[in-house]
Amino acid sequence: MFKQQVGVIGMAIMGKNLALNIESKGYTVSIFNRTPKSTNEVILNNPNKNIKPYYTLKNFVKSIIKPRRIFIMVKSGKATIEVINYLIKFISKKDIIIDCGNTYYKNSIKMNNKLNSMGFYYIGAGISGGEEGALKGPAIMPGGNLTAYKLILPIFKKIAASYKNEPCVNYIGKNGSGHYVKMIHNGIEYSDMQLISETYFILKKGLNLNNKQISKIFENWNKGELNSYLIEITKNILIKKDKNKKYLIDVISDEANNKGTGKWMCEEALNLKEPLNLIMQSVFMRYISNMKKQRLKASKILKCSENKYKIKNKINFIKKIKQSLYFSKIISYAQGFSQLTKASKKNKWNLNYSNIAKIFRSGCIIKAKLLQNITNSYIKNPNIKNILLTKYFSNIINNYQNSLRDVIIFSIRLGIPIPVFNASISYYDSYRCANLSTNLIQAQRDYFGAHTYKRIDKNGIYHTKWLK
């Protein structure tokens, strides 16, 4: 029987596109889906491809050359776990399962250990880039056994996006680390999107610009330091019209959904004691956005000040908004990478941050020009605690911070919700403050609970009998 070189399970849009991507790079591919309908559609809509459909997992497995390389792209969580548990009934020792979903990294660790103990390999590979990325080249973040990784690497290199001829894939580290990095990617994606949305609102509500004008502004910004995939799509979104010739953005409900990866990153941040306030606020904004009924009621009860605040020099103020966006974006990436360094230490992953930043340079949702600067910083010094402390980033931040202060004051006066811009200046002012107000917290803790405190003028641990 003629066998295929690669297997792909899951024929929803992402899995289908991944299979087509792999096939287009010269591999023969076996495909399987829980329901045959999707499998048949792939075959029907893609004639003359080296793709063979299978309708039972057993036959699917049998159809692949050993050691088998099987990509799984089904819904993360229960569905992925079920597929793998069923699949292991048929595979052989040394076969490699590549879990491409947004699997929770702790489940990735569990699955890796389970499969390894049975003699199979598991690669937890975060894949980013949406539908188009899966088809034309995603960013790939694989973690797991290094031997297995090397066996998949030729395929990864061919199917990944590339940045100046470098494929956007690098070995992340031991088990769980690939999915962890994907979780960080997604958290940053949340704050990037929220910051762009706040920017859009300031331009719209604060400066009274229309969709076309705002789109043009994003288009211009995309030519400079803010260049990114998300700015690019935003400029397109803003000018898209529906059948009734209405701007689509104006009729889309503001209730923003999520699949939980941003929340995971926040939970992790709390466990690692990482003050991840931009991404947390971005997650909270999605939650507030879903309190639609309450917000509608509140909008009739709760007031904003009557303060009218006009901008005299719009062009100059738009420049300030641009600098505010870049400032906040840098703070968010600084926090994301700072969390990575803590997670790496805790899990003994020995992560290579410049290699991770390199992966993000193309193919993924957070693809941005900034990532080359982050890459450079980590190449120069792999032990950076926080990129804000590098000469390159501290220069930009120092230059732009006043713009953000002006933009925040303006927006707050008008009652425009900008929680993530606020979070970014709060973090910045706290992080750069040598002596915070938290000395008072220590005193209060000691006062009511004898929790003790340290002094700045001498060593030791102290307790005061405050009422004596």
Q: In whole angstroms, how close is the CB of 423 to ligand 6PG at the nearest point?
A: 19
∠277-281-285 over CA atoms, to 5°? 175
The answer to whether the CB of 194 falls within 8 A of the CB of 281 is: yes
Of 186 and 215, nearer to ligand 6PG (C-beta) is 186
Residue 142, preceding peptide bond in cis (omega within 30° of 0): no
Of 59 and 258, nearer to ligand 6PG (C-beta) is 258
Of 53 and 167, nearer to ligand 6PG (C-beta) is 167
* Catalytic residue chosen out of the listed positions 16, 23, 52, 189: 189
Q: Binding residue for ligand 6PG (CB under 6 A) from 109, 160, 364, 384?
A: 364
Told to check if 186 binds ligand 6PG by CB under 6 A, we report yes
Segment interacting with ligand 6PG, rule: CB under 6 A, options 125-133, 321-329, 354-362, 420-428: 125-133
Query: Is residue 182 annotated as part of the catalytic site, yes or no?
Result: yes
How would DSSP label each residue in 113-133?
HHHHHTT-EEEEEEEESHHHH
Measured CA to CA, the distance from residue 67 to residue 263 in angstroms comes to 37
Measured CA to CA, the distance from residue 328 to residue 422 in angstroms comes to 9
Q: Binding residue for ligand 6PG (CB under 6 A) from 18, 115, 209, 365?
A: 365
Segment interacting with ligand 6PG, rule: CB under 6 A, options 127-135, 142-150, 165-173, 435-443: 127-135
Measured CA to CA, the distance from residue 325 to residue 328 in angstroms comes to 5
Query: Is residue 225 annotated as part of the catalytic site, yes or no?
Result: no
Q: Which residues of 369-396 are buried (b: 16+ CB within 10 A; e: fewer)?
A: ebbebbbebbeeeeebeebbebeebeeb
Q: Mask of contacts with ligand 6PG, 136-175, x by CB under 6 A?
A: ----------------------------------------
Of 11 and 217, nearer to ligand 6PG (C-beta) is 11
Q: Binding residue for ligand 6PG (CB under 6 A) from 67, 77, 130, 419?
A: 130
Of 157 and 286, nearer to ligand 6PG (C-beta) is 286
The residues that bridge with 169 in the sheet, in sequence order, are 140
Told to check if 128 binds ligand 6PG by CB under 6 A, we report yes
Told to check if 363 binds ligand 6PG by CB under 6 A, we report no
Measured CA to CA, the distance from residue 370 to residue 228 in angstroms comes to 8
Among residue numbers 250 through 289, which ones bind ligand 6PG (CB under 6 A)? 257-259, 261-262
Is 81 exposed, middle or buried, given 0-12, 13-18 or 19+ CB atoms closer than 10 A? middle
Count of positions on this chain that bind ligand 6PG (CB under 6 A): 13
Of 260 and 419, nearer to ligand 6PG (C-beta) is 260
Q: Which amino acid is at 31?
A: I
The answer to whether the CB of 106 falls within 8 A of the CB of 132 is: no
Q: Binding residue for ligand 6PG (CB under 6 A) from 63, 102, 375, 422?
A: 102
How would DSSP label each residue in 242-269?
-TTS-BGGGGS-S-----SHHHHHHHHH
* Catalytic residue chosen out of the listed positions 182, 204, 235, 322: 182
Q: Which position's Cβ is nearest ligand 6PG?
A: 128
Taking the CA of residue 220 as centre, how many other CA atoms within 13 Å lie in the half-sphere pointing to its CB?
A: 9
Q: Return the active site residues.
A: 182, 189
Positions that interact with ligand 6PG (CB under 6 A): 102, 128-130, 186, 189, 257-259, 261-262, 364-365
